[in-house]
Amino acid sequence: MINMEEISVYAIDFEGSLQTGILEYGIVGFTPRDGIFFTETKLCKNRSAIPSNESSCHGLRAENLEPYEDFSQHLDTFLHLRKKALFCAHNAAFENRLLSDYCPIVPGAYTVFSTPSQQWGPWLDTWFLYRKYLKTQTCTVEQLIHFCNLSELLSQLGGKFCPLDRKNFHCALFDALACALLFLNFIRSEAGIGKNLLDLLQQSSPKASSENIKQQKWM
């Protein structure tokens, strides 16, 4: 059985949409035992006009993204990381959908099961973990960070790792840091303590996917 304290996880967050493409990404690599060992964030050029309601949310505008490369130029980073570890996100369906739009097949993806994987998932998903535990439909990153009393710690990490003008919610690296904190908090909480990786992957999935994971065999 895999030691949960030693497993490497990469928390992922994107700003953007299928229409505009990925405009910003944030990655936080961590282990439960040692904490954060890697962070990266980049801005990416939009592939279509950015609706004003989206800009007002994440603060990114086409004129500011003109100098940057399309996200496809950074895809190798994600393929490389996925070959080494599992990904974690808050409401991972969004991140999975965006990544799959750029690259639907992941050759040689890391797996803990006997069946080879060529997918971005299975994901560890803090949205599902907390929603099932708290029995609520509303559990945004911001709400959960406040509920778990993690605001001060997140602010400190944001100050350490995030760009000066991107240290808020709806900024990719800041939200990825929040996701990492929420995952670590969950596995050490009453709801998560003692759970192995299979338990967490099951609880991170909708019912149909959870049943499929349950039937998998460990490597």
Reported pTM? 0.94
Q: Find, among 179, 198, 156, 203, the residue nearest to 30 by Cα.
A: 179
What is the predicted pLDDT for the residue at 212?
60
Span of 94-98, 187-191, 202-206 with lowest mean pLDDT: 202-206
Q: Which residue's structure tokens are 């909480």?
A: 189
Reported as half-sphere exposure (CB side, CA atoms, 13 A), residue 1 has a value of 9
3-state SS string for 122-146: CCEEHHHHHHHHHCCCCCCHHHHHH
Q: Which residue's structure tokens are 């990469």?
A: 10
At 61-84, the pLDDT tens digits run 999 999 999 999 999 999 999 999
CATH architecture of 9-214: 2-Layer Sandwich (3.30)
Query: What does R_g of the chain's alpha carbons equal in angstroms?
Result: 17
What is the predicted pLDDT for the residue at 208?
46
